[in-house]
């Protein structure tokens, strides 16, 4: 694994979601890129929660985010850190900046600020603070805020690790509030102090944060602290090239687990949202770590394709050990009312079922007939294939199974063909009634594979039950 260069600071990235909702695809992609960058360089991945929004931050959102991170396997080296527990540290930094003349108290009432904004807009300018209190030197007071004293000349820029050189005119950046009137720090101040204290070397985030970066660079400078390197990754769009939303299939990441997706598939799909490595589409976790780099992240927006995610999920299901799939299936089987079953039967069935499935939900549906004591017949299948006309077929197949067992597939296949010839029907005329008898459905793996999975005793029991249904239907 590549390591950090000699004498260079140890790579330290962070993922700082706000627990005001569940973790969605965009946030998960950001977490993954930070995690991969840290792991690729042998560095540290820091997890913290920006929970200073007291009204919207909820414990259930914290739990949901942590659950999603754990499901994806994005393990963190430090944290989770909580901003809500660091208010004293933020106030210390603010007081330091005020003492050094790099921030100041502002007593402007809300109505004055609104008037300043409206006047600027009327004159075709930006609704910026006019610096009224900048040089007056007022101290703390009820309702007052603290503002950062930003430079009014020059430019603030950086070499973005994804987008290249970016620069902002300082005259376009007003003196932002860093301490609210209720005593709470603002986002910009808290995130910079966190990054300083946690020695973050690389900030990898969505390009919707580009406009925040010059303000934060100025705050690093005001705190006499090293400035991390920034990389802003492209936003994620839906198939119609509009902002990703629920109508595009986007939902909380953890919901994909409940829909039967494997974390390998989700990681694979997230990594390919804006990043590439040649023409390769399928990556193991280790391959992602080995190959990941920001130089391969595109500048244009990435498009989320639910069909591609489904295709990747089918691939990873088909390439997962049966034991791993069997361990993941119980919740999906329980949702279908199958809570107690023979694990050996499930393990025997899985290799025959995975070619037909794209999700664990589908796999549980296909596996159900092999795990229940009495199979549920699909009404249309029973009405078509379990009639008096098929009773002789079921009766003779049962006798054949009793005589040959279920392990002799070649002998059974020959017997099926002979039976079809004797009755003057096609081979499907034998196989389909038997398939419905054994699985309750008209589709299944090969009929002889089904018999092997069920075993002779259960195969005969189901044929006997179906024969009774067919006879009574006459």
Percent above pLDDT 90 for the chain: 83
Per-domain boundaries in the chain = 12-83+236-310, 86-233, 321-368, 374-474
| Residue 243 dihedral angles phi and psi, to the nearest 5° | -55, 135
- Mind telling me the catalytic residues? 246
Q: How many CA atoms lie within 13 A of 471 on its CB side?
A: 9
Instruction: Check pLDDT > 90 for residue 163.
Output: yes
Fold annotation for 321-368: Helicase, Ruva Protein; domain 3 (1.10.8)
Instruction: Check pLDDT > 90 for residue 278.
Output: yes
Cis peptide before 286 (omega within 30 of 0): no
Fold annotation for 86-233: Rossmann fold (3.40.50)
Q: Which residues share a beta bridge with 145?
A: 106
Instruction: Check pLDDT > 50 for residue 87.
Output: yes
Distance, in Å, from the CA atom of 333 to the CA atom of 330, rounded to the nearest integer, reads 5
Fold annotation for 12-83+236-310: Rossmann fold (3.40.50)
Domains 12-83+236-310 and 86-233 share a fold: yes
Query: Which range scores top for mean pLDDT: 30-39, 134-143, 301-310?
Result: 30-39
Percent above pLDDT 70 for the chain: 97
- DSSP per residue, 389-424: GGHHHHHHHHHHHHHH-SS-HHHHHHHHHHHHHHHT
Residue 4's pLDDT band (boundaries 50, 70, 90)? very low
Distance, in Å, from the CA atom of 59 to the CA atom of 52, rounded to the nearest integer, reads 13
- Mean pLDDT of the residues in the chain: 93
Residue 3's pLDDT band (boundaries 50, 70, 90)? very low
Residue 124's pLDDT band (boundaries 50, 70, 90)? confident
Domain at 374-474: CATH code: 1.10.10.350
State residue 62's pLDDT score: 94
Find out whether 53 and 19 touch, Cβ atoms under 8 Å: no
Instruction: Check pLDDT > 60 for residue 24.
Output: yes
Distance, in Å, from the CA atom of 331 to the CA atom of 367, rounded to the nearest integer, reads 13
State residue 246's pLDDT score: 61
pLDDT digits (tens, 9 = 90+) for 324-379: 999 999 999 999 999 999 999 999 999 999 998 999 999 999 999 999 999 999 99
Distance, in Å, from the CA atom of 459 to the CA atom of 461, rounded to the nearest integer, reads 5
Residue 71, H or E segment: helix 59-72
Contacts of 283 (CB under 8 A, 6+ apart): 268, 271, 277, 291
pLDDT digits (tens, 9 = 90+) for 216-275: 999 999 999 999 999 999 999 887 777 776 665 657 899 999 999 999 999 999 999 999
Instruction: Check pLDDT > 70 for residue 442.
Output: yes
């Amino acid at each position: 694994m590549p390591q950090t260069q000699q004498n260079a600071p140890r790579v330290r990235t962070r993922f700082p979601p706000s627990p005001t909702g569940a973790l969605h695809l965009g946030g998960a992609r950001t977490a993954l890129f930070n995690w991969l960058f840290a792991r690729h360089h042998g560095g540290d991945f820091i997890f913290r929660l920006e929970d200073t929004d007291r009204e919207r931050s909820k414990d259930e959102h914290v739990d949901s985010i942590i659950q999603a991170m754990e499901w994806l396997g994005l393990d963190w080296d430090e944290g989770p850190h909580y901003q809500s527990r660091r208010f004293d540290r933020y106030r210390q930094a603010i007081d330091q900046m005020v003492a050094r003349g790099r921030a100041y108290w502002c007593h402007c009432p809300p109505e004055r600020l609104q008037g300043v904004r409206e006047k600027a807009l009327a004159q075709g300018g930006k609704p910026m603070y006019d610096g009224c209190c900048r040089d007056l030197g007022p101290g703390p007071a009820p309702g007052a805020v603290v503002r950062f004293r930003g430079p009014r000349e020059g430019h603030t820029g950086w070499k973005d690790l994804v987008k290249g050189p970016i620069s902002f005119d300082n005259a376009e950046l007003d003196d932002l509030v860093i301490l609210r009137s209720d005593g709470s720090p603002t986002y910009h101040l808290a995130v910079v102090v966190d990054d300083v204290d946690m020695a973050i070397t690389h900030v990898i985030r969505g390009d919707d944060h580009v406009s925040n970066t010059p303000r934060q660079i100025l705050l690093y400078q005001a705190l006499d602290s090293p400035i991390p390197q920034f990389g802003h990754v492209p936003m994620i769009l839906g198939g119609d090239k509009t902002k990703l939303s629920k109508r595009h299939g986007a939902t909380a990441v953890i919901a994909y687990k409940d829909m039967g997706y494997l974390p390998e598939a989700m990681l694979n799909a997230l990594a390919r949202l804006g990043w590439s490595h040649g023409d390769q589409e399928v990556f193991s976790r280790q391959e992602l770590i080995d190959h990941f780099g920001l130089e391969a992240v595109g500048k244009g927006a990435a498009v989320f394709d639910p069909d591609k995610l489904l295709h990747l999920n089918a691939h990873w299901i088909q390439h997962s050990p049966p034991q791993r799939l069997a361990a993941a299936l119980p919740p999906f089987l329980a949702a279908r009312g199958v809570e107690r079953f023979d694990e050996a039967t499930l393990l025997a069935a899985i290799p025959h079922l995975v070619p037909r499935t794209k999700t664990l939900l589908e796999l549980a549906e296909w596996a159900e007939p092999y795990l229940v004591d009495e199979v549920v017949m699909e009404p249309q299948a029973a009405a078509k294939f379990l009639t008096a006309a098929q009773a002789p077929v079921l009766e003779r197949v049962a006798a054949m199974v009793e005589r040959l067992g279920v392990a002799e597939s070649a002998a059974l296949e020959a017997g099926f063909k002979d039976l079809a010839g004797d009755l003057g029907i096609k081979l499907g005329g034998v196989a389909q009634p038997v398939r419905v008898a054994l699985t309750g459905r008209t589709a299944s793996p090969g009929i002889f594979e089904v018999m092997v999975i069920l075993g002779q005793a259960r195969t005969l029991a189901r044929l006997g039950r179906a024969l009774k249904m067919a006879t009574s239907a006459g």
